[in-house]
Amino acid sequence: DDPWRFVVSLIGIYFLGPAVEARIGSGRFYGLFLGSSIIAGMFGFLLSFAGIARGPAFTVAAATNAIFMVFYLLNPDAPILAFFVLQVPIKWLLYLFMAIEVAYLLITHFSMFFCVAVAGFGVGYLWFALFLTRPKTVQASEWYYGLRNSYYRWKRRRAARKFEVYMRQHNREVIFDEH
């Protein structure tokens, strides 16, 4: 549709891609790039099939936005030079680009390009949550076992206190430590 959109997307990948690739590795980076393009494209196809979005979407904007989102999630407080002049926190720049793309999405009455581009942010977030964070089941099991161990420690301390009282009644001094 518009060659400038494609060029701007490639510039975003050029500047943010190496930093993300260095943190997550080449294989995961390629998975992020291709996976976000494919998933956002499928999302666009579904919107087109449902009659919600119209028009072409020949771009890598979904992959660029996914890389942008993962860069933000890896470095939430990183400063970045906006337009080669202003040093701005990455989250402000991310919020600005998200707001601009959502505004264009609404102004163009759900143009396919902007539907796919905005979906890239969501795919990047989901990719980060699925592949770069600890699974929730591990956290839940650690919470459960930590709670269970706290209960067992409490039971042992209670039994030790009862045993100390029993031994004092029989004129013997026994002291247990926490370990």
Does this model's pTM top 0.75? My answer is no
pLDDT score of 68 = 94
CB 82 within 8 A of CB 72: no
pLDDT score of 173 = 83
pLDDT score of 107 = 93
pLDDT score of 27 = 92
pLDDT score of 137 = 66
- Residue 21, classified by CB atoms within 10 Å of its CB into exposed (0-12), middle (13-18) or buried (19+), is middle
Whole-angstrom Cα distance, residue 4 to residue 77? Answer: 29
Chain centroid offset of residue 53 CA: 26
pLDDT score of 71 = 95
In this structure, what token pair is assigned to residue 126?
Answer: 């989901």
pLDDT score of 136 = 65
DSSP-derived letter for residue 86 is E
One pLDDT digit (tens) per residue for the chain, 179 residues = 577 878 888 888 998 899 999 999 999 999 999 999 999 889 888 988 888 888 877 778 899 999 999 999 999 988 888 777 888 899 998 999 999 999 998 998 888 888 998 999 999 999 998 888 876 666 777 888 889 999 999 999 899 889 988 888 898 888 777 65
